[in-house]
A = this chain, B = another copy of it.
Amino acid sequence: MSVDSRAENVFKNLRSKGLRVTPQREKILQIFMELKEGTHLSAEDLFKLLAKNNENISLATTYRTLKLLSQFGYLRELDFAEGHKHYELNKDKKPHHHVICLNCNKTMEFEDDLVNQVGYRIAEELGVEIVDIQFKIYAICPGQHDDESRTHRA
């Protein structure tokens, strides 16, 4: 499916809900669709990227659009516990996971069906309906040892 026809599906769905397709929403979705696989942006990142492309979209609209597209499931909200969220295209709705370095904040992506299956099993046991599965490994990159600056998270 082409980027354009995938985008058109999104817009059709928005319209069917009485929502509008604006140049701002088009542009933001386009940016996410053209992003290299595994790239995720913060609201601020996106705002700056838009500005660099001469799209003067306000920060408020940036936030509102990110929230809208996430609520519709077109974007996924990533939370790496850094105080701000990241967003990525929720392309195939198959969860993939992240390793986050607590020193340099770099992230690495991986997929693991075993982990997903554990998630599905537990959700079934509890009788809850899964929205998303999240598996994160907080770690320290090789060569970056600074014991005092780490924080345990779960």
Interface residues of A (CB under 8 A from B): 67, 70-71, 73, 75-79, 81, 85, 88, 90, 95-99, 101-102, 108, 110, 112, 114-115, 118-119, 122-123, 126-142, 145, 148-154
Whether the pair B81, A151 counts as a contact (CB closer than 8 A) is: no
Q: What CA separation (Å) do A101 and B132 show in the bound complex?
A: 11
New A-B pairs, 15, CB < 8 Å, besides A76-B152, A95-B154: A71-B150, A77-B152, A77-B154, A99-B128, A110-B122, A115-B118, A128-B140, A128-B141, A129-B139, A129-B140, A130-B137, A130-B138, A131-B152, A132-B137, A134-B154
In the complex, the chain B residue whose C-beta lies closest to that of A145 is B129
Whether the pair B119, A154 counts as a contact (CB closer than 8 A) is: no
Whether the pair B114, A127 counts as a contact (CB closer than 8 A) is: no
Whether the pair B134, A138 counts as a contact (CB closer than 8 A) is: yes
**B residues near A126, Cβ cutoff 8 Å:** 99, 108, 139
**B residues near A88, Cβ cutoff 8 Å:** 154
